[in-house]
Each structure stands twice: as structure tokens, then as C-alpha cells.
Amino acid sequence: MRTTQQAMIAAAQRGLRNFHTWLTSLPWRVTVLALACFALNLASDLGNTFGNAPRFGGPLVAWSTFLAFLLFFALTLVALADAAWLRAHLPQRFASFRWRPFLLYPLLALSLWTAAQSLQVMAHWPATLASPRHYGSDEMYYAHYNAWLLLHGQNPYAGEHLSGALRHFGVENITPLRAGAYTDPLRPPTKAQEHALVAAYLANPRAPHPNIAPATTHSYPALSFLIAVPSVWAGVPTLGYAQVAALLALIACCIALAPAPLRLPIALLCLLDADGLRSVAGSDFAIWTAAGVALVWILGTGRDETRKTRSGRNTRRNGVLSVTNSGEKEEGRAFSLFQNLRALSFLRVLRVSSFSRPYLAALALGAVCAVQQTAWFFAPFYLVWVGRARGWRALLREGAMAAGAFVVINLPWMIASSGEWLRSLALPMTLPLFPTGGGLVGLGLGGALPLFPAAAYTALELLAYALLLVCYARWLPRLPYAGMLLPPAALLLAWRSPSRYFILLPFLAIVALVLSERCRAHAVPDASSIPAQDQVY
């Protein structure tokens, strides 16, 4: 009996040692990205805890939310940056990552606790998906109703459809305008006042209502409701079913594309965004932008991640390390992102030739830009990457293909109602909306800073976006996949920066990390491309 107990204890000790060895051998980038996810969770939790935070949270909540967002972007960039460049620019005590072992087990415990919360959120999906009444934003109602209109032969861009949408679903979800009796940006209408506004509007939809814009039912490009047509046609209760399927496909791709030793950590990282998982079921349709941008980069980088040359030497083009080996058994065959995934039938459709993959990426870019305007921010960054990786001719060619795909999707409405269509796309930028969010404007809403005019925030947003684009073009060799994360950073300076603009960014960060690790896993290490052994773990 004692011998058996000793053997069991010895086996347990070996298991614990093996687990500790495995945990400490994970790339430091996984640890940093987990910290980034928790920073974003903090910003989101502050908003959920204080209601319409930071407006009702005060200066401390406003600063905490803003700094948490900044910390998320900073940590994500560190996780994606070239290690040699980090060693040269970060203080030695941080660049060496010797602090990481002291953080691993507390971070693992917090990750498991958050993952358990995420699983509870996913278990609640069926209840959320049971009825459109559970939609969390007016844009979900509008996309659903526009698809219904299209199936009944009506043009969603022409005419007044807001009253019909509100009556169809029996809701009062609107986005009130900052006009009429409600011009103070710090005092938007209360729920009771919104109810009165909606009641007056429904009593006489044709009368002018300064605080309600009926055109907001069609303030997005055409794919925002075209993508909902199959669900509405099939009689699916809500649009959330398709969105949940898109999220699960994105998670499955992240896990399947990751190098084998990282698949379990990547799966855990995907469960750290509990609020993002909750939002997909019905809060908005931002998942289509996140999944579309991820697909664009997966397809676009497949050809240029690694190249084979006849000489069999390592090559680096614009900072992206390529590995070649003339002695491989499959000599002459281009490296494929999906070569180890033949058993996964849902990914076989993406196993296309390296020649056609960039063109598919360009078409996917045009399609995702036809969903909502926030996707437009990503397009220049991807095209900058294309220009640096494949030259200016490829940039012009793939940019034209993306624009063509966008036009083709929207063409019927551009012809049938060109003026309404064009004005609708500009509505998010031209309507006098109330400020909201935890970005720079949140400091004004929370009393930490003065609240400046909306034009000042717009100017800062555009300036920050241009600066980020220039910096990305300049530092692309050190941050090749940061183009998936940098565009939304400019929205932190916008007049409206709600958390839903950022809540799904952890999944894009995971895709960027997976692509980076695949590139390193298939690259021959050299002193300039990876950190020294004592600086990784």
C-alpha cells in the first residue's frame, strides 16, 4: 500500500513539474496578450458597473477607463512587436521579461476564473437568441427589419421605415439627436423622455421631430442587411445565430492555425473576452467586421509569410522573415497556412493557391467594408502592408479589387436611390449625436477635463489616425500585424467611443499573435529575428 501511495505521489510530482515546465515555456507574448485582455475587461467592467460610465462615474472612473483602454493597446503592441526592437527600446528590467514567472500562476488563476464566466455567458446564448426583444442596440433591429423589407420587395434606403421597425418589434429603441430641447451634450434624454419622444413620433411619423432621425434605420452599407437576409428568410428568430456561428468559426480558425503547442493557450485566450462573447448574441453586428478583417489578413498574409527560393537562404522582405530550405521533401511547393489542417473540412474552402489568395483577400476587404463604416478604418492599414510586402502595383491592383467588390455589393441601391444611399453612409459622421464612451471624450463627460466641441474631437481623431498610419508604414517591419489593432486606437479620441468599438479587438489580437507565431515557427532563427533564450522565458 505504501509503495502504491509513493508511486502516486511521485507521478503527481512529475505531472506538476511537467505542467510547470510547459507553462513557463510558453512564449512571453501569450502572457502579455492575456494582460492586455484583462486591461480591456477592466475598461468594459467599469462601464457595466457604473451604468453609462464614465458620465456617471466621475473623474476617477473616467481616467481609469481611458487608461485601461490605452494599456490594452500598449500591451497588444508589445505582444506583437519584434523582440530585438523591444530590447532596444524598453528598459532592461522589462525587456528581459524576467518578471514573467512571478505573474504566471496568478494570471492563470484569473484566466480560468474569467473563462468560467465566459462559459456561463455562452450557456446563456440560447435564452438571448430566443427573441429579437433581446437585441441590445437599435442597429440590430434595423438590420433585421431592413432584411425583412428587402424580402418583401421594398428598398430599405428609400422612404420612412423607422415607425414600421418600432411597431414591427414593439420596441422603443432609438438613437436620440442632440437638438431641439436636448442640446446640452451632458444631459441627454432620460428613458422617460425617450419614451415620450417615441410616442410623439409614432403618433405622427410625418411631422418633424428634431430629436429623431428616421434615416438612421439605413445608416450602414448594404451588406449590413444583406447578410441578415438568409436568417430572416429561413425564419430564424434572431440574427444572433449567424453571428454566434461566425464567432465560433473565428475561434476555431485561431485554434487550428496556431502552432500545436499554443493551441490550448490560444483557446484560453479566446475565453478571456466575456463581454465580447456576450455582445455577439445580439448587442450589435460588429462580429462581421472582426471576422472579416481577420479573414482578410489570414488570406492576405498566406502568400508572403514564407517564400521558397532556389538558394535555400533565409530572406527578409520588409521585415517579414521568410524561411527557405532547398532540402525539403516537398521542394517547389509553396508554404500554405493550412497545410496541417486537411482534416478540418470547414477550412478546406480556404485552401487556395498562393497566387489567388491575395485577390480573395482584396475581395473580402471590399465585402467587410460593405458591412459598416468602422471597417473602413482597417482598409488603408492593410493596403499599406500590401504595398510594403508586394509592391505598389499590388497595392493599386488589390485596392481596386476591394473598391470594386464594395461597389458591386451596393450597386443596386446606388442606382435605385443614389442620393439616399450616399447620405445614409454619411449619417454616423453628420448627425448631431450625443457624446459617449470611455475615450478622451469620457474625461470630459466624467468631469476630469472640459468637454470640447465635437469638431475638436473629430480633428484629433483624424490627426491620430493619420499619425498611426504613417507610424505603421514606418515601423511595419517591427510590427507587421499591428495593422489589425492600430486603426481602432484613433477612435479613443472620437466624439463617440463606446466600448462596442473595442470589445471584440482581443480576437483580432489573437489572430495577429497566431500569424506572428506561425511565421516564427517556420522560420530559421537568427540573432536579429528572435530574442536570446534567457530573454524569452
Task: Tell me the domain boundaries of the chain.
Answer: 26-130+238-536, 132-233
pLDDT > 90 in the chain, percent: 56
Whether the Cβ atoms of residue 114 and residue 42 lie closer than 8 Å to each other: no
pLDDT > 70 in the chain, percent: 82
Checking if the pLDDT of 341 tops 50, the result is: no
Cell output for 353: 493557391
What pLDDT, on a 0 to 100 scale, did the predictor assign at position 91?
Answer: 64
Strand 436-437 and strand 496-497: pairing? Answer: parallel
Whether the Cβ atoms of residue 30 and residue 103 lie closer than 8 Å to each other: no
Checking if the pLDDT of 134 tops 70, the result is: yes
Write down how long the chain is.
537
Whether the Cβ atoms of residue 194 and residue 251 lie closer than 8 Å to each other: no
Model confidence over 45-75: pLDDT tens digits?
Answer: 887 777 665 566 788 899 999 999 999 999 9
How far apart are the C-alpha atoms of 18 and 22, rounded to whole Å?
6
Which DSSP category does 472 fall into?
H
Buried b (16+ CB within 10 A) or exposed e, 59-79: eebbbbbbebbebbbebbbbb
Candidates 289, 497, 237, 40; CA nearest to 280 is 289
What pLDDT, on a 0 to 100 scale, did the predictor assign at position 92?
Answer: 61
H/E run at residue 253: helix 240-257
For all residues of the chain together, what is the average pLDDT?
A: 83
What pLDDT, on a 0 to 100 scale, did the predictor assign at position 48?
Answer: 75
What pLDDT, on a 0 to 100 scale, did the predictor assign at position 309?
Answer: 31
Checking if the pLDDT of 328 tops 60, the result is: no
Sign of the C-alpha dihedral computed for residues 48, 54, 56 and 61 taken in this order: positive
350 or 165, higher pLDDT = 165
Checking if the pLDDT of 462 tops 70, the result is: yes
Checking if the pLDDT of 104 tops 80, the result is: yes
What pLDDT, on a 0 to 100 scale, did the predictor assign at position 473?
Answer: 93
CB atoms within 10 A of CB 192: 8
